[in-house]
A and B are shown apart, each in its own frame.
Chain A
């Protein structure tokens, strides 16, 4: 099972956009059974596929809706409130993924309040548990039997949630806008990659697929920063030869009533779709090399 995560501790660089593009490519185009996981308390990724609800316990935050399989009459469900988010892994509860409008794509949505609680733990014993929990969950036989790829969207942070994702991932991708601030975010993520890589067993390395330029504009600024990263011998190897340009459709398909809702439902010759295809094909080839 491949576990792909999009990371950058700066916000607004396209983690969620890239996560959904990749998840939709794998499930829709490649027909692989895919699990999308939303590890960001903001729950933007979840919102793409589910009508998330306001959490009465924390009105700023969202929580998943009632699960379609939930039946209050079912005696097996007596200790379930009918909602299930990925954050249940921190509370010893089962995670019940939600189906989405894409046949092969399931979603383990976020839950703002519960994810924030996990993100804010400080005591080292507890932090340690948070760090390991996602990897434990993904190692369970049920999950492995049901999915062959997992795509994780992350919070813009270097905290326990992000570390948990890094420990669970097989492949990471760092989307970044070609500007100073987001490039600093690349550094933060490389540091975590280093910490993790030094103690990973050699037979299951954490592969950095690369740095993906996003929201790219043909401006001097973007072009020069991209070139300076490409020309650096160490970093250059990790600059992906593909990129996503700044295109209004990527933002438009975010909205709930967008039609089509997936970039892959656009016509074959749509430039944004072609670009998304190229990016996903590149990542997919890297990830499934020895299959």
Chain B
């Protein structure tokens, strides 16, 4: 019998570790570090960050009659803050550019460029592509640069992925988008790629919530996309907006599913003429069966805290196993009360 694993590295951490390794393995040596005059730098017209503010706005100041004035002035304010830190301590990460004629086009770091200009700098540290990136590679680097940034919204991330996929399909034909494809071309882990694929195909109501920033976490968005019933989905979206955690969201969905099952069971019982009010747990001659059940339960994140209780049990010992199984049922009943009340 294979032993159940109990401890492990969190999914997020193991995802981070493998993404980083994949990036290095696929992209080592693609840049060269240089210092460039800011005057030679051009912004990329299809930057995924979607800033409204332009180079001219920064150089000449904003114009009140500009229809985008409101949005631009908010951006301007944030750029000014960044400019202050650049004045005092410079930019932390170099920007990424590629050479286009006499100029350098920004692949990643346009806010840092604009803020450096605001800070009165003449030059900026940059990483120049050693080779001119192809459409797809270009998008990919924007992605790599952006994974390091916490401040990118889910909407921006998803749009980045759409862009990458579009560039990829332009180069390789209209291939259908599967988690494995995403995993291979971007170097995401399979679970994460699966989440992204789910969210790329989100129902319109979910999509809208992502666009207006109401849903910000990939994991939550993916779970919600998996709900078929529109009412339950609506309920989940509302819960998500009011700030419920991933765990709570999972529980809510599980609970809803269970409720619909409960109805069925009760109906069947009624048909047989007698409603059952409790579940018969039966018995087993093989205490190892209980060991498997116990280990599977405490392997779940929400039960890990009980793992110690079962650490020293002798699973060949019938009485001890019976006691521990009772204990487990008590814990399960207790936890499900907290979860569903």
Instruction: Give chain A's interface residues, CB within 8 Å of chain B.
Output: 122-125, 127-128, 180, 183-184, 186-187, 190-191, 193-195, 197-202, 205, 208, 220-221, 224-225, 227-229, 232-235, 237-238
User: Within residues 289 to 304 of chain B, which ones have a CB less than 8 A from any CB in chain A?
Assistant: none
The reply to whether the CB of B56 lies closer than 8 angstroms to some CB of chain A is no
Q: A127-B90, A224-B6 are known contacts. Are A198 and B13 too (CB-CB below 8 A)?
A: no
A123 CB contacts on chain B under 8 angstroms:
88-90
Q: How far is the CA of A229 from the CA of B9 in the complex (A)?
A: 7
Q: Are B17 and A190 in contact (CB under 8 A)?
A: yes
Q: Does B204 contact A (CB under 8 A)?
A: no
Instruction: Tell whether A233 pairs with B18 under 8 Å between CB atoms, given A187-B13, A199-B32, A227-B5.
Output: yes
Residues of B within 8 A of A127 (CB): 90
From A187, A198, A225, A238, B7 is in contact (CB under 8 Å) with A225
Contacts of B6 in A (CB 8 A): 220, 224
11 contacts between A and B (CB under 8 A): A122-B88, A180-B9, A187-B20, A190-B24, A198-B28, A198-B144, A199-B127, A220-B6, A220-B7, A225-B9, A235-B17
Q: Which one, A124, A191, A205, A224, contacts B29 given CB within 8 A?
A: A205
Closest A residue to B128 using CB positions: A199
- Closest residue to A235 on the B side, CB-wise? B17
Closest-CB distance, A214 to chain B (whole angstroms) = 16
Which of chain B's residues 24-61 have a Cβ closer than 8 Å to chain A? 24, 27-33
- Asked whether A198 lies within 8 Å of B127 as measured between CB atoms, the reply is yes
Report the Cα distance A187→B33, complex, angstroms.
Answer: 24
Whole-angstrom CA separation of A21 from B90 in the bound complex: 39
Do A201 and B29 touch (CB < 8 A)? yes
Instruction: Return the chain B residue nearest A237 by Cβ.
Output: B21
Contact A197 B13 (CB under 8 A): no
Residues in B with CB closer than 8 Å to A183 are 9, 13
| Chain B residues within 8 Å of A234, by CB | 17-19, 21-22, 189
Could you mark each residue 190-219 of chain B with 1 if its beta carbon is under 8 Å from any beta carbon of chain A, else 0? 000000000000000000000000000000
B contacts with A: majority SS: mixed
Would you call B28 and A122 a contact (CB within 8 A)? Answer: no
* Residues on A with beta carbons closer than 8 Å to the beta carbon of B16: 187
- Return chain B residues, CB-CB under 8 Å to A235: 14, 17-18, 21
Q: How far is B28's CA from A233's CA once the two chains are assembled, in angstroms?
A: 19
Collect the chain B residues with CB atoms within 8 Å of residue A128's CB: 125
Q: Which residue of A lies closest to B127 (CB)?
A: A199
Cα A194 to Cα B22 with chains together (Å): 9
Q: Which residues in B have their C-beta under 8 angstroms from that of A184?
A: 13
Give the residue name and chain of the A residue nearest to B86 (CB): A124
Q: Which residue of A is nearest B92, CB measured?
A: A124
B67 sits at the interface (CB 8 A): no
Which residues from A are CB-within-8-Å of B20? 187, 190-191, 193-194
